[in-house]
Every structure is written in C-alpha cells, then in structure tokens.
Structure 1
C-alpha cells in the first residue's frame, strides 16, 4: 500500500504538556536538530497510524506569535513557509483562558487545525467543566480530550488528525477587532491582494502590518508595490492611534484577550471551590516566601548533592570492582607489551575511570528531573529573581542557568528564550560558570580521596554555590560595562504542581546516560588513547640511575638481613626449609591482607575501623598462642618482607616518575607548570587540565592514565589512593583544583554553541579567555587564603 504522509505542526504554550504528548505519539522515533538559519531546536517524530505516516514537527513552546522572540518567529514561519497539513494545538484545560490567546492567533493563519484539550483531569479537580462540543462549534475545529501524562486520549487525537488531514480544508476564522479597525483591515487587504504571495493569508498580513510587525513589514516591502503599502499602513496606524488613544499592537492584543476570555466563559462551568489552586497557593506561600524562599532553595540543592554522594557511592563501588576485574581479565589473556598497556592503562583505565561516576550523574539528573517535573524549578526562578535583579537580569535568566547544572550546551541554547538581546548575551557568557554534570566526576574523585564522607555533600554544595556566586558577580560586571541598558520586567507563568511520571523521569535519565556513555565512547576514548601515547613515549629515556641494579641491591640486602637474623639461628637456608615457620608467615600475611582490604574505604577514627583493628589484634594474638616460639620469628620475617616491598615500590614510583617527566605529556606539563605552580598544581595536574579542554570528564581519565602507568589497578578507588600518596596533593590542593575545573574554559562543545548562538568568533574566544583568567585568579585566592589559615 502506498504511504501517505501527513505533516502535523504541534503547537502550544510552555507547560501545557506538549512534550509529553509528542513523546506519547512518536515514542523513540524522534530526530533533534536546528531550524535553518537559527539556533532554535527542531524536534521531529514519525508515527504510523491508520495507513498514514504522521510526521510530527514539535514547534517551540510559545505564548504568542508576535515577533518578540526567536521561538515565536520560528513557530509561525514553519506554519506559513512549510505549510503543514494540520496544526495540532495542545491547550492546558486547567489554564484554558490563557491558552486560547495562542489558539486565536493560530486560527488566524488559516490552516486546518485540531485542538488537543490536555490536562482535563487537573481541570476537573479544580472544579472546571469544559464543554468541548461548544468549544469545537465556536472555533470551527475538532476538539479531542486527553490526559497526556497517563497517555489517555492519544488514539482519539490521532483519529481526528487523520480525518482532518484527509479533508485538508481551511475553516474561515475571524476575530472582530471593532468597526474602526476592521474598516482599515479591509482597506489594507484590498491593497495587498494584487502584490503578495498566495502562501500568506492576506487578512493576517494586514493585521500584522497594523501591529507594526517588523518581520512582516520586511517581507511586504520586498515585493513590488510593497513599500507604498507599508508607508500607507504607517499612516493608518498613526491615524487609529489618534482616534483610539493607544498603540495598535496593544489594542489588538487586548481584543484577542477579550475574545479568549469571552470564549472561556462560554464553554466553562465552575463547580465548587478551586481546591487545587488553594493547595498550590499554600505551598507557594512557603516556597516563594520573601525570606524563606532562598534558604529553602539552597537547602533543596544541598540535600540533592548529599543524596548524589550517599546513594551513588554503592553502585559506584560495584562499577569500580567491575572495571578492575575487566582490566585484570583482559590483561591475563594478553602478552606483555604496548598493546596490553594501551588497553589496560589507556582504554580501560581512562574510560573505565569516567564510567565509574555514571551513577552520580544519573542521580543528579534524577533530582533535577523531579524538581522540573513537579514545577519547583519555576518557583526557584521566581525566588532567584531578587538575586538576578542585582545583575541587571531577571528570574527568567535563571532558568538557562539551572539547566547548566545538567549540561552547559542546553543552558547556553536556553538563553534564546530571552527577548532582550543584552540579557541573552550576558546569560550565554555566565552560563558556563554553573557546574555541569561533566565536572561531577572530577569533584567525586577528589572529594572521595581527600574529604570525609560526612562532609562530602557539603563540599560539593560549596562548589556549586561558588559557581552561582561567580555567575552573579560576572553578570553584574558584564551588564554594567559590556551590555548596559534598561532591565526587562520579569513575567513568568507559575504552572500548577504535578506529580512526576515514572516514564518521564526514566526517559530523561536514559537520554542523559546514553549521551554520557556516547561521550565516553568517543571523545573520552580518543583523548584517553592520546594521553596514554603521550605518557608512554618516547619509550626509552635516560634515568638518573640504574633502577634494575638498585632493586637488585634492595633484594640482596633484605635477603642478607633475613639470612643473618632468621635462617642462620634456625639452621636453614630458605623459608620453605621450616614448614611450620612458613605456615606462620603465611597466616600473618593473610590476616594483614584481609584487614587491609576490609579497612580500605574506612575513615580514620571511625568505630568500624577500630573494631577491625581490634579483630586483627585478636587474630594475631591467637596465632601467637598457637606457636609462641615461632610467632615472633614469623612476625620479624613479615616485617623484613614488608620493608623490601616498600623499598621496591619506592623505586618503582621514582622510575615511573622520571619516565613520565621525560614523556611527551611530561614535557607539555613542564611547559605550563610555571603558570599553575602558584595555584599549588604540578605538571601532572597541568596535563589533566589541558586535556579537559575537550571535555571536563577527560580530566579524570587523564589522571587515571597518568597515575596508572606502571601499575595494575585502574579503578577509581586505586586512583584515589594514588592521589593520596602523591605529595603534591592535600585537601587544600584538591579543593583548589575543583575550583579551577569549575571556572576555566568551557568544553569544545559549549564553545561551539557559544559561537553559533552569538554568531561571533569574538565572543567564543572571549568566553574561553575570560573564564580561564578568572579561574586562575579565584583559585590563586582560594589556595593562598587556605595556606594563611593553616590548611
């Protein structure tokens, strides 16, 4: 059977449930891109229904089709230029009056339309009864009732779409704007009909010209005779303004709102009191309280970060063990050489170290998704409006900044919803200062290594708060010196509170995890291999001494001490000559090893650690009681063996350090070390920071690769141990490094989006330079203040 395509433009206000319905219709068959010529996201999906291929184009959520924002222009241009077969207008039944304003504008475009009456359950709980049949008759469109978050009514909606799509007949729709305005509209229509393209509804063009819509004025002026028409309309505007006493754009908007209000009252019956509004109002009195709102917001964020650390620690440990096992399993089946080292150290050690932090990333996005879906994030924007006003921005600018907690790319792109170009530019430049999820693995690694678990969430919280503070400070500076101008008023809808859906939250987490793993399999993999190569080559380097000879000398010296102190008095030549002694040594080593493994993740002074130490002492005392004569000798042998191993490990680290220092990575790190040394950083940290230009997670994989050269353990726990053993690191240096990673240049993906959004190389380069300079200054201050305070 021949396929029949029906193009459907999905339009609606923000928070009307449009995205949920789009997901219900299209499922996983979606494609995300950009509209040509602009950076507004374009989302499309396909659904096969009743022998029709429905191509769903999800238009940007917008309150109107004026020319004040990119989203609005894009939405109306898609309808006019692409001529979709049907407009599917999703409206929120619980906020029907406000939603009908956009509906009226869509109908004026004279395209076939279906009205999706969503959230009817919420409207019912508010005591609102929408008479959809009356609404359908008055608008001349099919109305389908639905509850999007339960996927109810989707089939009926699609049937209506297919039926209207088969007819493809425009229904005439007219709002009467009053006798005086209507006379002028008719006059302009007569002037336009001979000259304009047929794709434009002529009456709609006339109204837009009266509204002084710059986009439409440019289109009409571009055709023969259009300039004269526009000049004539300008005179008409001034004439009507003198008669009506106000700007025509305002008058026409008021008349549309009046139409929406009258229609709402005609189709809606109110039963009882509005309990839902009353409940929402009671919550809002607390969450948006002038004094309590801000502390509550920071309290919510503090709880979120503690949740990320406490809960994420368990699956993180499982992945660490799995990564370590994988490295050992792969290594055991490969011959020693560069290929084995590349796979173990470069790929498994680098990429595996980043994947270890996937649970923390998912938990962070879980928290953000829950806060967004409940409606709390909008309240947070309202609360932050008081802070943002000090920057010269308003609370709406805080929404893109909140998105920055997840990823800087959508945060920067989110600035396009701001009407004022100055607000957009300032928001784009300060968005990267919000700590994105890509930085979380760095924080988790360093906090886990140098800070007690009880304080982990608070330390992480402080880093995020620092990002917010710096964004505010830089916003003040940019608004005052680079983008001075009047501030815009803050107008934003407070959507009713919703119970998040399991499907919605799961989809959000799935999308983020797929993106994270894709990045691990592409950018991070590539950088890990490059860093491994730079860390291992040149393979032959001159050493300060003969390490093989030094290791042999250590073994000879310790063996001589053991022979003199233990073997000769017992009349033996090697340990195996006295089986009872060998058994005692083995039992002591087993006790020590079991205790070391059990206490690896415990903090100093913790009751669990003390209990295990006491258990160890009890086991050793039991061994001594079993062999009172041989136990002291076995213990002395064990101490000699430990001394030998410590000396050999010291020589191994010294040799590895010299090789790394002379590798290509070492040479790069040494070149930038003078710049970062005042921050407490060494060349190894410098290599990680340079690699982090590609993606911030790469800082972890780079450190894992550098510190695993010559070692066997590649999991994050082993990397934390290696950092703790490095004399460069201490809690102050770890905190300073987190501060630098928070602030310095956005990653390549974010920089490319800044270039696209601003259409300027200048601002992209400025963003990278100013943030890196700011990172150096702030980190210098943090490090040296810490030193003065004795840390």
Structure 2
C-alpha cells in the first residue's frame, strides 16, 4: 500500500484535508501547531495511507514537532507528496514548496483557501503556476471538502503522478559543493534524492546531519560545506551558506508571484484587520477576552448547562435508577448485587454523568473560539504578560487545550520552539483546570454559590493560570537561568466555523470524558463502593466502620488545617489520582445520595463556604492524574522532572488551601 505525505505550513488546512480524505478524524484548530506529530489514516478510496506531518515553514526544524517532518522524509521516503499551501499567502508558503520539489518525489500542490484569497481580491493564475513548478495544482477549500473528490481521484493512482524534475541553480560555488556531496553520498543505500540531501546538509539541517552521522563518517561532507562557505566569503558575499540558499529561493519565488498573482483588486482593509483593530487592541483586547470567558462560563453553568444537567440528573435518579431497582427485584438479585449496581455503579458513575451537558457546552464554545481564529489573538494579547513571567505567548495555546485535558495539552507543547519554554509549559500544565475537575467545581458552586456559579468556577480557572504564571517566573529565574525566549505566531484569518466541524471537534474533546465514565470511573466506583461496604467486621458494615473510613481517617488529620479534615474528604482525594472525576463519584457513594440534590444537601452539612473554596483550590492544584504523570515522563524523558511536578503541585495545593482557610478564619469568614 502506497504512503502519501501531507506537508505544508502551519494553519494551511492540512488536518482539515486529512479528515476529508481519510476515514479518521483528527483535532482541527484555526491556529498553528495543531498537529504535533505525524498522524496516519487510510484514504477513503483505499489507494493507500495518508501521513499528516506537523505544520512547518521550512525543512530546517526549529521545534520538536517540526523535526518530525524532516526525519520522516529522510528515513521513510513516501511514494508521493501533497503540499498544501494557503492561496492567500502564496509567496510565504512557496518557500517550503521549493524544498519539497527538490525532494524529487511525485507531488500534488493543493491550493487551499482559494475562497479566502478571492474574498481578499487576490487571484492566482493556476495554469502558469503549474507550468513554472512542474506539478499538478489543484484548487481546494479543505474545510468544506471542495476539491477533495478530485484530489482522491489523482491519488488513486499515485504511481501515475509524474515525478518532479525541479532544479534551481544556486550559483557556481554552491553547485560545485552539491556535486561533491552527491559523490560522497553514493555509498549510502536507501537515501532519497541526493541533491536534496546535499542542499539540506549545506543548510545545516540538524536532522539530516544526525541521520548521516549514523551511516557514515561525515568529516568529508562537513569539510565540503566549510570550503563552500569560505568561497562565498572570498567573493565578499555578506551571507552565510544557508542565507545564500534561502535568498536564491526567495528571488525565484518573487519572480513566480509576479507572473501568477493578480492583486489589482486586493482590498486595503479586510474583515480580519477590522476585527483585529478591536479584539487585539492594546487597551480593550484583554478586557474583551475576560468578558468572553465570563460569558462562556455563564452559558455553561447558568443559562444553558445548568437546566440540561438537571434533566440528566432527573433521568438518572428517576427512570434509570427506578427501572434498575425493579429489574433487580424481578430477577431476584442478591442484596450485594443490588447494592453494587444501584449504589455503587449507578450512584458513582451517574453522579459524574450529570455534568456531561456542561462539559460538552464548554467544549463547544471553546471549539468555536478556536476555529474562528480568535484563540491565536489571545496568545498575542497574553505574550507581554507571559514574557514578563518567563514564557512567550505561544505557550498559552497548550494552556487553553489543557482546559479540556492536560494530556494532549502537554503533547501540544512540542510545537514550542525553545526547549526552556517547552519544559516550563509541560511542568506547569497540570495547574490548568481540565474537564475532570469541572464536576467538582460545579457541585460545590451550586451548593455554596448558587447566585454566582459561573464566577465561582471561572475563579478556579483564573487561579490555575495565575499560579502557573507566578511559578513560571520562579522556575525561569532559578531553574532555567540564562535561557532566552522567542515568540513567533501566525495570526490566521477570522472565519465562521462550520457546524460539522464544531460538532466533530466538540465530540472529540468530550468523548474522552465519556470513555472515562465507562472505564476508570466505573471501576473506581465499584472499588470505592466495596471499600465502603466491607470492613474489619465483615460485609455490609456501617460506613464509619468500613475500610474506606479507616483509609480516609489516616489522611484526615493532615487535612484538618485546610478545613476539610474528615475521613470522607480524605477518601475522595487519593482515588482522584487515577482520574479527578472519581472525586465526585466517591462522594456520591460515601454520602449514599439518591440524586444530585441529595448529594448537595449532604455536602452543605459537612462543608462551609470557606472550606468549600479551600477544597476546590486543593482539587485544582494537587498532584496530576495518572495519565498526565505518564505523559510528563514521556515528554521530559526524566523521572526527576516527573517527580518534581508531582511534588511541587502537592506542596502548592497544601499551602494555598491552608492560606485560604486559615486566612479566611482570621478575617471572620465562615
């Protein structure tokens, strides 16, 4: 089966095209850095596999995810390439195109966002572009699927796509060096186009150099590169070798654009520029973002999400619970089985599923903001603040993704160029309020802050961001000294998200929560119920004499200064390490609540508003879940940093909750 690589600049619509051409679905966002590793899918026509490589501006990698593309091309050599370019930014995109044409594989140029280009008054002569580059050029609108049928038809016989014979002359000095390097490479088997490898070596591509080092002694190759650089200096050209190669490519690109681009009807101020004048305003931009976030949480918890959660709660505590009771009585189930299913499984899992509508509404609105292009502007707005704290604005993208789940957010940090920024983002990511913590916030907010639910939950999200920025400053100063940070981000055009894209994106974000409900939370609820059902005295014991009570009682004294020093509270925190959602399911089992209203009533008798805030803060900050710990270990490749992330977050949670509760008591709060 043939393999076809999908390559292009960030935010050109690669992943949208990938989803259209294959039977799989990948995360789509209107910002750069969405694809952080190669993704593989089967083409719908069965013609082969399509590999979606991370968005790159050049084959010379600046970040870990960009290195994936260069490594794939040198090591795996696909049968054909699809180079997708943004028609409204043709000149910038063609720099990568020329490097791919030099790779020599059969290539199709996907001219995407042709509608955006036309709306801006930019028109491209497809015939001339096709003639100058020597490849098939196909206009596309990837997010609507326009042109995908034609693309599948072309790919059906990838062997029929003509090989590229593109060759750009780089001048006598460089051409001589290329020929010398090509001779040295003849001894290496399974290399792609030798001229392409030679050019990448002259450009000092670290991925290509590392690959060659694993095969041969590269001393001779490096001597050729140094000799070539010296000759350029002798000719008094104030350019390094990579700069010389790039300047030749850019000159060729400018000549092409003069021929193929008609910008006579280009509009001086488009919609994106007009919106940016308000949304990225130096004074109004950040207050507008805060207002949008408040409206997001108001919609999630008050206007829409709250009533929908009440309906789900009524279904679970009513027809589902009553129906299960009747069925178990009819079939003569034992008391143990009856209690396990009704009190353990339905009570535990159902207590979490009540919050599904709120979680999906939150994801829907976030997906809208992402796909509209607004989130990239938020990174720009946050850059000055984050720079003062030791990070750059690009790190804010993984932080936003972390509102859904910390695991993909940490993986998204691969798109950050600087190792220091990447490590800091990874270590601080667990402070972002993922969807697993949301049921805890929502439960306590409705009990103790019924009139200010949205504000109470939003404050937890803000608290996580604030502590992340503070610790970022501390870590930057003491752990990552003398390491600079560079901020480069592309602002995509604003666009109205499509219903299909929004629904799929929301589902992809939310289905992980449902998957946990059917696996980790289900298993956790059964285990927690059994620990509450059994004790040293046997089975069906009083809850206060159960194994769960004894286990929680061991932790309770440590939690006393935080305002929730009961065995019940202690029992919820440890299983929360598996998944934070288990905290609510454990409470449902411990308090034996028939429905959410019953659980809320029990909590109101055990906690006070002050201890509730302390508990919510502890849930926000204490150790990451097991899956997050695993991905931190994978991304940092260090147990030292993994244990550091666990240790600092636990210490921070204890200190913050202590200050909240004890400080509140000193001020006379209850």
Q: 8 Å contact 1:394–1:490 — kept in the other structure?
A: yes
Q: 8 Å contact 2:614–2:661 — kept in the other structure?
A: yes
Task: Give CA deviations for 1:465-510 in whole Å, capped at 9, x if unaligned.
Answer: 1111000001111111111223222111111101101111000112
Alignment correspondent of 2:118: 124
Shift of 1:513: 2.8
Task: Give CA deviations for 1:504-535 in whole Å, capped at 9, x if unaligned.
Answer: 10001122232211110001111111110111
Matched, 1:529 2:519: no
Alignment correspondent of 2:31: none
Q: Which has the larger displacement, 175-184 or 323-332?
A: 175-184
Matched, 1:679 2:562: yes
Alignment correspondent of 2:95: 101
Looking at structure 2, the residues matched to 440 and 694 of structure 1 have their Cα atoms a distance apart, in angstroms, of: 16
Paired residue secondary structure (1:87): strand
Matched, 1:512 2:509: yes
Instruction: Indicate how the Cα distance of structure 1 residues 223 and 514 shifts in structure 2: closer, same or farther if over 3 A, else same.
Output: closer
Task: Give CA deviations for 1:593-633 in whole Å, capped at 9, x if unaligned.
Answer: xxxxxxxxxxxxxxxxxxxxxxxxxxxxxxxxxxxxxxxxx
Alignment correspondent of 1:589: none
Instruction: Indicate how the Cα distance of structure 1 residues 29 and 98 shifts in structure 2: closer, same or farther if over 3 A, else same.
Output: closer
Provide the aligned length of Structure 1 versus Structure 2.
655
Alignment correspondent of 2:458: 461
> Structure 1 residue aligned with 2:621, among 733, 740, 743?
743
Shift of 1:70: 2.0
Alignment correspondent of 1:689: 573
Looking at structure 2, the residues matched to 264 and 77 of structure 1 have their Cα atoms a distance apart, in angstroms, of: 30
Q: 8 Å contact 2:71–2:208 — kept in the other structure?
A: no
Looking at structure 2, the residues matched to 410 and 221 of structure 1 have their Cα atoms a distance apart, in angstroms, of: 33
Q: 8 Å contact 1:693–1:745 — kept in the other structure?
A: yes
Matched, 1:42 2:71: no
> Structure 2 residue aligned with 1:271, among 264, 267, 289?
264
Shift of 1:85: 1.7
Looking at structure 1, the residues matched to 151 and 573 of structure 2 have their Cα atoms a distance apart, in angstroms, of: 53
Task: Give CA deviations for 1:355-388 in whole Å, capped at 9, x if unaligned.
Answer: 1100111011111100100100000000000111
Matched, 1:205 2:197: yes
How does 1:154-193 map onto structure 2 within 5 Å?
A: 154-163=148-157, 165-167=158-160, 169-190=162-183, 192-193=184-185
Q: Which has the larger displacement, 329-338 or 521-530?
A: 329-338
Looking at structure 1, the residues matched to 200 and 26 of structure 2 have their Cα atoms a distance apart, in angstroms, of: 34
Matched, 1:757 2:635: yes
Instruction: Indicate how the Cα distance of structure 1 residues 238 and 68 shifts in structure 2: closer, same or farther if over 3 A, else same.
Output: farther
Shift of 1:261: 2.8
Q: Which runs of 5+ in 2 are unaligned?
A: 29-34
Paired residue secondary structure (2:78): coil
Instruction: Indicate how the Cα distance of structure 1 residues 696 and 25 shifts in structure 2: closer, same or farther if over 3 A, else same.
Output: same
Alignment correspondent of 1:734: 612
Looking at structure 2, the residues matched to 414 and 208 of structure 1 have their Cα atoms a distance apart, in angstroms, of: 27
How does 1:293-692 map onto structure 2 within 5 Å?
A: 293-310=285-302, 311-325=304-318, 326-334=320-328, 335=333, 337-453=335-451, 455-538=452-535, 540=537, 659-681=542-564, 682-692=566-576
Q: 8 Å contact 1:688–1:703 — kept in the other structure?
A: yes
Looking at structure 1, the residues matched to 26 and 477 of structure 2 have their Cα atoms a distance apart, in angstroms, of: 43
Aligned CA-pair RMSD? 2.1
Task: Give CA deviations for 1:622-671 in whole Å, capped at 9, x if unaligned.
Answer: xxxxxxxxxxxxxxxxxxxxxxxxxxxxxxxxxx9x93232111111111
Alignment correspondent of 1:590: none
Looking at structure 2, the residues matched to 81 and 219 of structure 1 have their Cα atoms a distance apart, in angstroms, of: 8
Alignment correspondent of 1:581: none
How does 1:139-150 map onto structure 2 within 5 Å?
A: 139-150=133-144
Q: Which runs of 5+ in 1 are unaligned?
A: 33-38, 543-655
Instruction: Indicate how the Cα distance of structure 1 residues 781 and 698 shifts in structure 2: closer, same or farther if over 3 A, else same.
Output: same
Looking at structure 2, the residues matched to 229 and 114 of structure 1 have their Cα atoms a distance apart, in angstroms, of: 32
Shift of 1:169: 4.4
Work out which of the two has the higher radius of gyration on C-alpha atoms and give 1 or 2.
1
Paired residue secondary structure (1:144): strand
Alignment correspondent of 2:646: 768
Alignment correspondent of 2:61: 67
Shift of 1:266: 1.8
Shift of 1:450: 1.1
Paired residue secondary structure (1:245): coil
Q: 8 Å contact 2:621–2:650 — kept in the other structure?
A: yes
Shift of 1:28: 4.0
> Structure 2 residue aligned with 1:26, among 22, 29, 32?
22
Paired residue secondary structure (2:6): strand
Matched, 1:723 2:603: yes
Shift of 1:102: 1.3
How does 1:49-64 map onto structure 2 within 5 Å?
A: 49=45, 52-64=46-58
Instruction: Indicate how the Cα distance of structure 1 residues 336 and 187 shifts in structure 2: closer, same or farther if over 3 A, else same.
Output: closer
Instruction: Indicate how the Cα distance of structure 1 residues 356 and 232 shifts in structure 2: closer, same or farther if over 3 A, else same.
Output: same
Q: 8 Å contact 1:85–1:168 — kept in the other structure?
A: no
Task: Give CA deviations for 1:136-188 in whole Å, capped at 9, x if unaligned.
Answer: 1111110111112221111111222234x132542221222233323332333
Q: Which has the larger displacement, 283-292 or 493-502?
A: 283-292
Paired residue secondary structure (1:437): coil
Paired residue secondary structure (2:111): strand
Shift of 1:224: 4.3
Instruction: Indicate how the Cα distance of structure 1 residues 512 and 216 shifts in structure 2: closer, same or farther if over 3 A, else same.
Output: closer
Paired residue secondary structure (2:4): strand
Paired residue secondary structure (1:148): coil
Task: Give CA deviations for 1:725-782 in whole Å, capped at 9, x if unaligned.
Answer: 33xx011111111111111111111110000001112211111111011000011111
Looking at structure 1, the residues matched to 217 and 621 of structure 2 have their Cα atoms a distance apart, in angstroms, of: 55
Looking at structure 2, the residues matched to 238 and 772 of structure 1 have their Cα atoms a distance apart, in angstroms, of: 56
Shift of 1:331: 1.8
Instruction: Indicate how the Cα distance of structure 1 residues 407 and 48 shifts in structure 2: closer, same or farther if over 3 A, else same.
Output: closer
Looking at structure 2, the residues matched to 745 and 241 of structure 1 have their Cα atoms a distance apart, in angstroms, of: 56
Looking at structure 2, the residues matched to 225 and 483 of structure 1 have their Cα atoms a distance apart, in angstroms, of: 35
Instruction: Indicate how the Cα distance of structure 1 residues 85 and 224 shifts in structure 2: closer, same or farther if over 3 A, else same.
Output: closer
